[in-house]
Chains A and B, each alone.
Chain A
Amino acid sequence: MNRSRILLAVILMALGAHAAPRVGLQGKGYCGKTRDLAATSAREAACAPRMAAFAQQAAAEDDKQAGRRNGVITGRVVTADGQPLAETQIVAFGPNIKLGEPQQVATDEEGNFKLTGLRPGVYQLTAMMPGYVSPRAFSEAPMHRPGDNVTITLVKGGVITGRVMDVTGEALVGVSVTPRRIRDAAGHRVSAGDWMTGLMHSARTTDDRGVYRLYGLAAGDYVVGINGSSAPMDNSVSIPRESPTFHPSATRDTAAEIAVREGAEVTGIDIRHRAERGHAVSGALSGEVESDAIVNVISILLRNPVTGQVEAMTMALGSRNFALYGVADGEYELIALRQNESDDRAMSAPRRVSVKGADVTGVELKLLKLGSIAGKILIEKAKPGESCPPPETYSAQEISLRANREDQTNSQSLPLLQFDLGGLPFTQPNEKNEFTVKNLEAGSYRLAADLPGENWFVRSLTQPATQAGKRADAARQPFALKQGEKRSGIELTVAEGAAALSGKAIAARKGQPLRVHLIPADAAEAENLLRYAEVVAEGDGAFAFKQLAPGKYWLLARPAAEAENKLPAAFDAAERAKLRREAEAQKTEVTLSPCQRAKDITVNADLK
């Protein structure tokens, strides 16, 4: 199998298993002149710690521009109390990062890092340090661009520990114990992608006493179990074809939940193995199994139809058959997802499966093409002499776009594409400013653009109208995509001259959390959703809006509701009308001229 040998050789080379010759020049510790140090620097200065220097440099705008030109993102990783974290792995993700070209660096002793050689575009960064977690969900990782200086804060993870015993009470040695986070600290369900990360990151095996210790856990509610039909990711003992046992000695449905707080330890979470034979769920794949890509990986996921949580998965590689073993009795949904190196996915519709005391065979999963939204970004330059200071020279390639699903039929359910193996949740335009947001299931989506800098705002979002040659607004209603539908001809117009606004919201009751709404005061803009914005005020009431279209606005502060998983109020026509009525009555009005940075605006929450 020669082809395998080549690949293996490549892997081995990457792992350093071959001999290296000795050619080329000898560095001998010579410190040459580099671009970011003055030419007058002595040789000793060139050898001085440079990382500390670039933390300062990055503060200056000149350096930000230099960083942008050179494709550099700098930053620092600290703990919640400000201590630097050394040896932390930083990984960058973005549409420009190709498979096999990981952008990964480690922090130095001062917690500093520097990613170089980045093409213009948008990136998300993740920091990995054993025992520590990001207090923020992966889904909330901010967008960064070359030139940015980023501070990443990690907190000490929680711990769950206990003992695993067999039916006779004897220690089970070397079994893998897996934490599954079901809700985050705020009580929101976590995405399947986060679930998978936790699974691979946090599973640990029991020792010779049956003791396990799960650490580095993000705060939230967990169930903890052993075994499962997912392929083991480590060399742990496999107990084939038995269904998983959860703490204390339960099936998934009756598993006890464990609340883990930041940095806290929960002990005595023992698991008594049930040794219950599970069942097999097997079947065949059809439809869009193959693609023009070289590497097609099809994941078959078994999930809870109510919560949407993935309970088990397997992968089919070059096979049209699949089987999951050790499935406990219950109701499930099976879904197949095809992925490949060109990020061209296909997905099956969820298929209901009922396991009741016997194997389930012959389940057919038909893979279907996914939809997309494509279009172009138009940049409107400011008239000469009217551009905002300081000058910015961003390109359209630094705009990121994503399609946010709006029609979650079941609010508990999670969109499957959150179960993400190597794909990206956002896209960026190509050199011709054309974009395609792909891999969209049937449903309603709103296109969201993340703009760099301060001087741009989204002027309009349009689509071809039914009448030839005309264009219609595409911001008011979400895009309703049918299965496999490819929507095109969208135009997103970005203009220079954006205004910004900041101030303070004053609550009727001290400490009451507030949400500040920005509403276009001009009646002609009443239905222009791009003019509406909302933000949750900081603890002291401070709020800020940026990248605003110049014009006249009303500000309105409302108590922030407890459940904050909702869509913006302006998306709903009735809510929008209500916002306008309240804002008009309250009359906190502000007129923003192009490039204006309005500050210290005060808005009072309605006393009613």
Chain B
Amino acid sequence: MHLSPFVRAVTLCVLLIATVQAAAQVRPPDNRPRNSSISGRVTVGGNPLQNKIVLVTEIPERNRQEVGDVSFSFGGSSAASYSVRTDADGRYRIIGLPAGKYEVHPQAGAYVPEKKSGEREQTVTLDDGEAKENVNFALVRGGVITGRVTDAEGHPLIGRQVEVRPVKEPQSPAEGGFFSEGAETDDRGIYRAYGIRAGRYVVSTSGGRGFQAAQPPSKYPKTYYHNTTEEAQARVIEVTEGGEVTNVDIQLGAARKGFEAAGRVIDSETGQPLPQVSLMCFAVGSKDGVMTGFSGTAKSDEKGEFHFNGLQPGQYSIQMTPMFAGLTGAPSEHYAEALTFEVTAGDVGGLELRAKRGASLSGVAVLEAAPDQKGASKLGQLMLAASVMPTGENPGEQSVASTMSGMSMAKLNADGSFRITGLSPGKALLRPFGIGGATPVVKRMERNGVEMREGIEIKAGEAVTGVKIVLAYANGAIRGQVNITGGQLPAGMRILATAMNANAAPTEQGESAEVDGKGRFLIEGLLDGDYEVSAQVLSDQEGFNQIAPARQIVRVANGAEGQVTLTLDLSKKREAR
């Protein structure tokens, strides 16, 4: 009997993503009428593309989790998807769709949109009973770039990522930069990137292996075709429509030797070594300190000593990683600020991560739940996470050191009691999370009976007791319509609707939802209360970034849906600050 490391790694990944996705899993039965349809045609150079699958996937209203610019979706199992093949004339029609938002995606990887601005998939919003026609895709055969990646001795490099990036053209600033195609080398070192739009490209690899848990940084310098480490010297490859460029071979230079960073974790007060501390090492930018890569994990031994290997010259940051401790074992009592160091041309020794005994928060969580709450989590199935903001810092400017050292979590006991340890001083906010059931939100935070709306102030090493967290299910929602006056919004410009509790602390960001193509939105996950709902154009374009948001107060009561219609006047400018 044995497990495989892959399975274990994937389990961890699934568990994490599952946690993120939990909300999408508990869904009411779908009783919506299925009266809508989508149809269109897929062509290649004007001729029908037959027998290709067109995939239509519903974008559930609740299924998007956004953090900054990153949105996660996984597997597609929770989202309904429909598929059909194109007929001899390249036509497809999918019927029996409920009203909603859909992504239409022809599965034709070797082809690319004919127009430069064309998208590989299109988003369609359907009303009940609507038959959306002419969702057409005009494609052409994409180009191919193929070649071989070898090391300095000519041995094939296996399973390495090759990047194919469009050259930044001065006349079209939108192209280049973000968009890139890639391919992976096989056991012969050969890669084949296909479905490439006609254009000018540079091809490069740094010998990286794609995403894998705790993957160390590559030991090879990033090398461009044809064998140069300077992007400016890279040979530009012209790809024509349906054309194939071969022998785009890259030989990576000698592997750079990795260095070791060694040191120990000590208690900053007693000077005693701290064993069994989990650490992570990140590469950081030398100027701005922004993390640029993940360099590995390590654990301090019985003498508090730790080692990180294979580090290339550069700036690094070592941090304590307490976040999982509360889930699988005893949470750490300590926290530490990140330790930044530089590797130049040799091993680095004598590093010292000075950990401080952290403050603790203890108390009890109570759950306000209607007895008929479906899929309610038991208190014992919830984790409570504390994030501490150092005094004097704003949420937007929170540094990683304070985010990492300011995060700690613990499992709630069955009676709701909890104790979170290893906290840095500052203002603590508590949030529950769990999976496998609907998860409540914090309705009220108290310390010794006094409400702490903006968080609980904790001093260095303080044992804060008497904390009470009232949890409730945020079943309420606001459904709305945004009407536009005073002009027309250019295609592709987005509108965001946000609901902010009227009593919210200034640190809160409210709940948001994107307004669809028909001006509709649904903001979910709201507790009862009065909300200021605003609709705002998301744009950094001159003329559109100063449009005043439309605002209105809406009441959510008894976990029901509030309704609102907002009028966004494009001619009205935001008042100057």
Interface residues of A (CB under 8 A from B): 1-35, 46-47, 50, 69-72, 86-87, 89, 91, 93, 98-106, 108-109, 114, 116-119, 124, 126, 128, 130-131, 137-139, 141, 157, 159, 166-168, 170-171, 173-174, 191, 193-194, 196-197, 200-201, 204, 207-208, 213, 215-216, 231-233, 237-241, 290, 292-297, 314-315, 317-319, 339, 341, 402, 415, 417-418, 420-425
Contact = CB atoms under 8 A, between A and B. Distances in A.
Contacts of A417: 1
Q: Which of A89, A119, A237, A317 has the most CB of B within 10 A?
A: A317
Contacts of A47: 346-347
B436 A106 contact: no
A486 to B, nearest CB: 20
Nearest to B386: A6
A99 B43 CA distance: 49
Contacts of B303: 35, 70
B228 interface: no
16 contacts: A9-B407, A14-B321, A18-B403, A21-B289, A29-B347, A32-B350, A70-B305, A116-B307, A126-B5, A191-B1, A213-B187, A240-B55, A294-B435, A319-B26, A415-B1, A421-B8
Contacts of A239: 53, 83
A317 B25 CA distance: 7
Interface of B: 1-12, 14-16, 18-23, 25-26, 51, 53, 55, 65, 67-68, 70, 72, 75-77, 81, 83, 107-110, 142, 144, 158-159, 186-187, 192, 194-195, 209, 212-216, 219, 255, 257-258, 260-262, 275-276, 278, 280, 282-284, 288-294, 296-303, 305-307, 309-310, 315, 317, 321, 323-325, 327-329, 337-353, 375, 380-383, 385, 387, 399-404, 407, 411, 414, 431-437, 439, 441, 525
A3 B387 CA distance: 12
Contacts of A233: 10
Given A295-B15, A297-B15, A1 B324 contact: no
Contact of B213 (A46, A104, A423): A104
Contact of A208 (B109, B292, B307): B109
A294 B381 contact: yes
Contacts of B4: 126, 138, 193-194, 196-197, 420
B308 to A, nearest CB: 9
Contacts of B342: 26-29
A4 B433 CA distance: 7
Contact of A16 (B214, B282, B298): B282
Contacts of A197: 4, 6-7
Contacts of A238: 55, 76
Contacts of A71: 301-302
B305 A27 contact: no
A8 B294 contact: no
B213 A102 contact: yes
B51 A14 contact: no
A1 B294 contact: no
Main secondary structure of the interface of B (DSSP, over half): mixed
Nearest to A10: B323
B566 to A, nearest CB: 23
Nearest to B313: A29
Given A3-B439, A422-B3, A101 B299 contact: yes
B400 A20 contact: yes
Contacts of B289: 19-22
B291 A19 contact: yes
A117 B340 contact: no
Contacts of B212: 89
Contacts of B414: 292
B481 to A, nearest CB: 24
A101 B329 CA distance: 11
Contacts of B53: 237, 239
B172 to A, nearest CB: 26
A168 B307 CA distance: 58
Contacts of A138: 2-4
A420 B404 contact: no
Contact of B19 (A128, A159, A204, A295): A295
A101 B213 CA distance: 11
B65 A8 contact: yes
Contacts of B350: 27, 30, 32-33
Interface residue SS majority, chain A? loop
B3 A423 contact: yes
A8 B72 contact: yes
B51 A170 contact: yes
A1 B525 contact: yes
B91 to A, nearest CB: 17
A421 B436 contact: no
Give the one of A1, A11, A213, A319 with max B CB within 10 A: A1
Nearest to B13: A11
Contacts of B209: 130
Contact of B1 (A20, A25, A139, A170): A139
Contacts of A130: 158-159, 187, 209
Contacts of A17: 68, 70, 291
Contacts of A2: 431, 433, 441
A312 B10 CA distance: 17
B284 A20 contact: yes
B431 A6 contact: yes
B348 A99 contact: no
Contact of A420 (B2, B344, B402, B525): B2
Contacts of B9: 91, 102
B7 A196 contact: yes
Contacts of A232: 75
Nearest to A92: B5
Given A20-B340, A24-B338, A99-B328, A318 B5 contact: no
Given A21-B401, A317-B436, A422-B8, A99 B15 contact: yes
A109 B187 CA distance: 20
Contacts of A196: 4, 6-7
Most buried by A among B282, B292, B293: B282
A127 to B, nearest CB: 9
Contacts of B437: 318
B2 A10 contact: no
A341 B22 CA distance: 16
A238 B75 CA distance: 11
Given A1-B23, A104-B214, A116-B306, A6 B385 contact: yes
A167 B22 CA distance: 39
A165 to B, nearest CB: 11
A128 B350 CA distance: 31
Given A18-B400, A103-B299, A124-B2, A29 B348 contact: yes
Given A2-B433, A294-B382, 19 more contacts: A7-B433, A16-B283, A19-B399, A20-B291, A21-B340, A28-B341, A31-B346, A46-B349, A50-B347, A86-B255, A106-B216, A173-B195, A174-B109, A204-B186, A293-B381, A296-B436, A314-B77, A420-B3, A425-B1
Given A139-B2, A208-B110, A4 B328 contact: no
B282 A208 contact: no
A31 B435 contact: no
B206 to A, nearest CB: 13
B15, B23, B303, B382 pick with most chain A CB within 10 angstroms:
B15
A394 B67 CA distance: 49
A72 B301 CA distance: 9
Nearest to A422: B11
A317 B8 contact: no
Given A11-B16, A70-B303, A31 B5 contact: no
Chain A CB count within 10 A is highest, among B23, B347, B400, for B347
A455 B378 CA distance: 50
A6 B433 contact: yes
Nearest to A33: B349
A294 B2 contact: no
B109 A237 contact: yes
A9 B12 contact: no
A117 B2 contact: no
B8 to A, nearest CB: 5
